[in-house]
Amino acid sequence: MSSNRYAWLDNQQPEQLSASIMSSNRYPWLDKPQPEQQAPLLLPTKEWIDKPQLEQLSASIMSTNRYPWLDKPQPEQQAPLLLPTKEWLDKPQPEQLSASIMSTNRYPWLDKPQSEQQAPVLLPTKEWTDKPQLEQLSASIMSSNRYPWLDNPQPEQQAPLLLPTKEWLDKPQPEQLSASIMSTNRYPWLDKPQPEQQAPLVLPTKEWIDKPQLEQLSASITCSNRYPWLDKPQPEQQAPLLLPTKEWLDKPQSEQQAPLLLPTKKIPGSYGIPFISPIKDRLDYYYFKGHDNFFQSKINQYSSTVFRTNMIPGPLMASNPRVIAVLDAKSFPILFDTSKVEKKNVFTGTYMPSTKLTGGYRVCSYLDPSEPTHAKVKQFLFNLLKSRKDYFLPAFRSAYVAPIFSSVESQVATHGHVDFNALNNDIAFDFLGEAYFGERPSKEGMFGSCFNFQKKVTIWLLLQLAPLASNILTKFLIPKLVEDFLLHTFAFPSFIAQPGYKSMYEYFNTAGSAALDLAEKVGLSRDEACHNLIFATCFNTYGGLRVLFPGLLKRLAQSGRDLHARLATEVRQAVATHGENGQVTLGALEQMELANSVVYEVLRIDPPVEFQYAHAKKDFLLQSHDAQYQVRKGEMLFGYQPFATRDKRVFGANAGEFVPDRFVGSDGAKLLRYVWWSNGPETQDPTVNDKQCAGKNFVVLVARLFVAEFFLRYDSFTAEISSSVVGAQVNITSITKAKAKAHASNFY
């Protein structure tokens, strides 16, 4: 039980107890299914509970029907908790006793007279046992400064359990005693006068005992009369120390989270005065404080990353703007847990655009996984991506890289700068059409130019996203309050987008004919599949690329030439050794560890979609780093991802900074589970049973391709960065072509 196993004990959480069982490789029975496991902490019977508290045994050993010797009078009982000797610890693990349970019927040496047993801890006397409970020591935590007899030399002490010091914890494991961690310097409340102490070992109620074993608390913390949160009705109580599951135990020790006791608190915050307060919050969010300051001010006000607030757009657009904000890395993942939350009609938050903008259908983004159509649509999208995977790289080179980079070079040479966002918006859709369907929208006979197509898509997007946007009309000197009224009070009529949407439908129905054949195979009508395909391509993917590629260039430009040089070297070496004819391949991309880390870091710090929403399916307790909170069925949860993915408790002091190599190496890879841009962890792939983005891997692929193709072609660049309606605005002001390609250093 080395001291480096329990780093979490260094936290200032005096009410927490150590976990009773930490490692799955210590106890073979833990490999069995949980219902078949022999719990190392035995649970009391009703008869035991009904006895006066002073007659009960320590909460560590509770069952009167498990061991015959417990039926004897107390002075004649064998010690229920004997601690092992060094000799015992040196035995093979299967022969060792669990440090929490030591039964006299398990091992022969325990059948010897007590004087012959190797019990390193002396046993309490009857006099000690007969004292009132407040004068007794807790069986798990015993302070060496409490009782005079503890000042005696150790052999003379009548100490039920001796406490290890830091020196003890620093010793090699074989020299250490039981797995219990009991240091007196961990629990400040022990310094209080004894009557004021909160005993860390308390006893369960009958109601608790009557629950199934998996719902019970560990027998280490159980009493309903010691802690305020236990005074609540039983269904509202949270088990502060649950028995660990096999899944938890199978994790590497460094990744295990000890099942610690967190205080249950009321969710802070208020929704204020109906109608008035939601509008005030909206104005603060959009105009007076800004996004980040709006949330940070509330975190500071409530000293909590979980709180109640109103969320945009508010009246009259949304009938109910009330949400519970979750803004840390511990609480945020609740938004992905479909066993506890529902994702129906929450894609855009507290309001939903008219289905007239999507052909009368609720498309996949607005469906909960429990709805049958969700699985059909998502499987259709998976099948489409799989069928076209061999076309992604060639399409990116021909339909995106060639036209956009040649335009960048020519415009920088001619005008001294280029609006990258405008070029990206025009050209990105040609790439998607080529990649998904083998047919570009700009092809003659379709729309005449890609610009015409993206203009129609932009109008359609604007009608859906205007309630979430700001500072669009203010650029034309329209006052903020006027803009707020126009954008955030009433929805724009859907007929504005109908002519353009009809053209979009014609393109997808024609160019995507083969894709729609795949939809019919999973039970979707061609019409419903076509509207879903429009949304997935135009809203999800195209809308994402309009934010992602400028976001990549923003962070790269701000990082400077040193990073550019490192990326250029890595990309060109990977292409030289794993490429094909000097071109980027999937094998080459896998060798670009720094480039891949840059992509993940941009997705972490500037996620394309900042908000996630969900409704609680049932009552449950929501945990943050510092507390747990009761959430009621039907309440809306809201996550602001830029705060959750910049959590300093996960990413360290530089969590708010762009660190290009953050995800390099094995330690960096462990942090990927906290990257949630896709509505799920980066370490998981989407399925039909969750709400993770169906095109998650496609987006990561094209982002990697963008970085690789850029630094295969260029040594460095500079740019002016500002903000746009969505994401960053990038104006490239200079670009240096790679010497190996240009045979000269051309600097515009």
Sheet containing strand 636-640, edge to edge, reads: 306-310, 322-326, 636-640, 611-616, 341-342
3-state SS, residue 623: strand
Residues 6 or more apart whose CB falls under 8 angstroms from that of 673 comprise 681, 682, 683
pLDDT band, residue 251 (cuts 50/70/90): low
Q: If residue 639 lies in a helix (H) or strand (E), which one and from where to where?
A: strand 636-640
Residue 368, classified by CB atoms within 10 Å of its CB into exposed (0-12), middle (13-18) or buried (19+), is middle
Specify the range with the lowest mean pLDDT, choosing from 138-152, 519-533, 721-735: 138-152
Separation in Å, CA 508 to CA 247, 398, 454, 505, 617:
44, 21, 14, 5, 36
Here the tokens at position 394 are 């060639």
Give CA–CA dist 299/232, Å, rounded. 27
The gap from C-alpha 417 to its chain's centroid, in whole angstroms, comes to: 40
Give CA–CA dist 361/44, Å, rounded. 56
pLDDT tens profile 281-337: 999 999 999 999 999 999 999 999 999 999 999 998 998 999 999 999 999 999 999
Residues 6 or more apart whose CB falls under 8 angstroms from that of 689 comprise 338, 369, 375
Question: What's the confidence (pLDDT) of residue 392?
Answer: 97
Closest to 239 measured CA to CA, from 541, 655, 628:
628
Count of helix runs (H) and strand runs (E) in the chain: 26, 11
**733-741: average pLDDT:** 85
Question: What are the E-state strand segments in 372-499?
Answer: 418-419
Residue 77, classified by CB atoms within 10 Å of its CB into exposed (0-12), middle (13-18) or buried (19+), is middle
The gap from C-alpha 357 to its chain's centroid, in whole angstroms, comes to: 32
3-state SS, residue 224: coil
Closest to 615 measured CA to CA, from 596, 599, 598, 631:
631
pLDDT band, residue 127 (cuts 50/70/90): low
Here the tokens at position 626 are 């510092």
633 in Cβ contact with 617 (< 8 Å): yes
Here the tokens at position 711 are 């630094």
DSSP one-letter code for 274:
T
- Average pLDDT over the chain reads 76
3-state SS, residue 674: helix
Q: What are phi and psi of 264, to 5 degrees?
A: -90, 125
Q: If residue 280 lies in a helix (H) or strand (E), which one and from where to where?
A: helix 276-283
Specify the range with the lowest mean pLDDT, choosing from 194-208, 472-486, 682-696: 194-208
3-state SS, residue 669: helix
Sheet containing strand 418-419, edge to edge, reads: 418-419, 728-737, 714-723
Here the tokens at position 703 are 């982002």
Give the relative orientation of helices 498-511 and 450-465 as an angle to the nearest 10 degrees.
Answer: 120
Give the relative orientation of helices 513-521 and 526-534 as an angle to the nearest 10 degrees.
Answer: 120
Give CA–CA dist 5/12, Å, rounded. 17
Q: Within a 13 Å sphere around the CA of 591, how many CA atoms are in the beta-carbon half?
A: 17
Residues 6 or more apart whose CB falls under 8 angstroms from that of 117 comprise 82, 109, 110
**196-203: average pLDDT:** 37
Here the tokens at position 270 are 């208020």
Closest to 627 measured CA to CA, from 298, 253, 268:
268
Question: What's the confidence (pLDDT) of residue 468?
Answer: 92
| pLDDT at 100 > cutoff 50 | no
pLDDT tens profile 564-604: 999 999 999 999 999 999 999 999 999 999 999 999 999 99
The gap from C-alpha 58 to its chain's centroid, in whole angstroms, comes to: 38
- Give the residue, 115 or 246, on which the prediction is more confident: 246
Residue 632 identity: R
Question: What's the confidence (pLDDT) of residue 453?
Answer: 80
Q: If residue 576 lies in a helix (H) or strand (E), which one and from where to where?
A: helix 561-578
How many CB atoms are closer than 10 A to CB 445?
5
Here the tokens at position 368 are 């909960």
- For the chain, helix, strand, coil in percent to 5 are 50, 10, 45
**161-185: average pLDDT:** 41
716 in Cβ contact with 564 (< 8 Å): yes
- Give the residue, 210 or 250, on which the prediction is more confident: 250
Residue 219, classified by CB atoms within 10 Å of its CB into exposed (0-12), middle (13-18) or buried (19+), is buried
Question: What's the confidence (pLDDT) of residue 471?
Answer: 87
336 in Cβ contact with 690 (< 8 Å): yes
Label the pairing between strands 628-631 and 620-623: antiparallel
Question: What's the confidence (pLDDT) of residue 171?
Answer: 55
421 in Cβ contact with 730 (< 8 Å): yes
pLDDT tens profile 451-509: 578 889 999 999 999 999 998 888 888 999 999 999 999 999 999 999 999 999 999 99
pLDDT band, residue 726 (cuts 50/70/90): confident
**646-664: average pLDDT:** 97
Give CA–CA dist 709/246, Å, rounded. 45
Question: What's the confidence (pLDDT) of residue 18?
Answer: 31
Question: What's the confidence (pLDDT) of residue 454?
Answer: 83
**678-690: average pLDDT:** 97
DSSP one-letter code for 269:
B
The gap from C-alpha 204 to its chain's centroid, in whole angstroms, comes to: 33
Give CA–CA dist 274/296, Å, rounded. 23
What domains sit in the chain, N to C, each tagged with a CATH number?
A: 3-250 (no CATH), 355-742 (1.10.630.10)
3-state SS, residue 670: helix
- Torsion over CA: 138, 139, 145, 148 (sign): positive
Q: Is-cis flag, bond preceding 660, omega within 30?
A: no
- Give the residue, 431 or 2, on which the prediction is more confident: 431
Residue 687 identity: T
pLDDT band, residue 96 (cuts 50/70/90): very low
Give CA–CA dist 676/494, Å, rounded. 32
Give CA–CA dist 697/552, Å, rounded. 17
| pLDDT at 201 > cutoff 80 | no
DSSP one-letter code for 654:
T
How many CB atoms are closer than 10 A to CB 510?
12
| pLDDT at 87 > cutoff 60 | no
Residue 589, classified by CB atoms within 10 Å of its CB into exposed (0-12), middle (13-18) or buried (19+), is buried
Closest to 457 measured CA to CA, from 411, 509, 504, 390:
504
1 in Cβ contact with 181 (< 8 Å): yes
Question: What's the confidence (pLDDT) of residue 258?
Answer: 42
**654-661: average pLDDT:** 98
DSSP one-letter code for 389:
G
- Give the residue, 515 or 113, on which the prediction is more confident: 515
Question: What's the confidence (pLDDT) of residue 112?
Answer: 53
What residue has token string 């990257």?
675
What residue has token string 């379709």?
446
Here the tokens at position 320 are 């109910």
As beta bridge partners, residue 731 has 419, 720
pLDDT tens profile 379-393: 999 999 999 999 999
SS (H, E, C) 102-149: CCCCCCHHHHCCHHHCCCCCCCCCHHHHHCCHHHCCCCCCCCCCCCHH
